[in-house]
Chain A
Amino acid sequence: AQTVTQSQPEMSVQEAETVTLSCTYDTSESDYYLFWYKQPPSRQMILVIRQEAYKQQNATENRFSVNFQKAAKSFSLKISDSQLGDAAMYFCAYRRPNAGGTSYGKLTFGQGTILTVHP
Chain B
Amino acid sequence: KAGVTQTPRYLIKTRGQQVTLSCSPISGHRSVSWYQQTPGQGLQFLFEYFSETQRNKGNFPGRFSGRQFSNSRSEMNVSTLELGDSALYLCASSLGSGGVYEQYFGPGTRLTVT
- A and B interact physically: yes
Q: Determine the interface band of chain A, counting residues with CB < 8 A from chain B.
A: 20 to 34
Q: Decide if B56 touches A106 in the complex (CB within 8 Å).
A: yes
Q: Decide if A107 touches B98 in the complex (CB within 8 Å).
A: no
Q: Is A33 an interface position by the 8 A CB rule?
A: yes
Q: Shortest beta-carbon distance, A102 to chain B, in Å?
A: 6
Q: Shortest beta-carbon distance, A27 to chain B, in Å?
A: 12
Q: Is A95 an interface position by the 8 A CB rule?
A: yes
Q: Shortest beta-carbon distance, B62 to chain A, in Å?
A: 18
Stretch of A39-47, A58-66, A68-76 that contacts chain B? A39-47
Q: Determine the interface band of chain B, counting residues with CB < 8 A from chain A.
A: 20 to 34
Q: Is the interface of B mostly helix, strand, loop or mixed?
A: strand
Q: Decide if A95 touches B99 in the complex (CB within 8 Å).
A: yes
Q: Shortest beta-carbon distance, A85 to chain B, in Å?
A: 18
A97 to B108, CA, bound (A): 25
A57 to B87, CA, bound (A): 38
Q: Decide if A98 touches B100 in the complex (CB within 8 Å).
A: yes
A112 to B98, CA, bound (A): 23
Q: Is the interface of A mostly helix, strand, loop or mixed?
A: loop
A44 to B110, CA, bound (A): 12
Identify the closest chain A residue to B54 (Cβ).
A104
User: In the assembled complex, which residues on chain B have CB atoms less than 8 Å from the CB atom of A33?
Assistant: 99-100
Partner of A97, one of B88, B94, B98: B98
User: In the assembled complex, which residues on chain B have CB atoms less than 8 Å from the CB atom of A106?
Assistant: 33, 45, 48, 56, 58
Q: Decide if B33 touches A107 in the complex (CB within 8 Å).
A: yes
Q: What per-residue 1/0 map shows which CB atoms of B34-78 lie under 8 Å from chain A?
A: 010000001101001010000110100000000000000000000
A105-B56, A106-B56, A109-B43 known; A97 vs B33 contact (CB < 8 Å): no
Partner of B33, one of A32, A96, A105, A111: A105
A97 to B100, CA, bound (A): 6
Could you tell me which B residues sit within 8 Å of A by CB distance?
A: 31, 33, 35, 42-43, 45, 48, 50, 55-56, 58, 88, 90, 92, 94, 96-108, 110
> Other CB < 8 Å A-B pairs besides A47-B103, A107-B33, A107-B45, 6 of them?
A44-B105, A44-B106, A45-B92, A98-B96, A106-B33, A107-B103
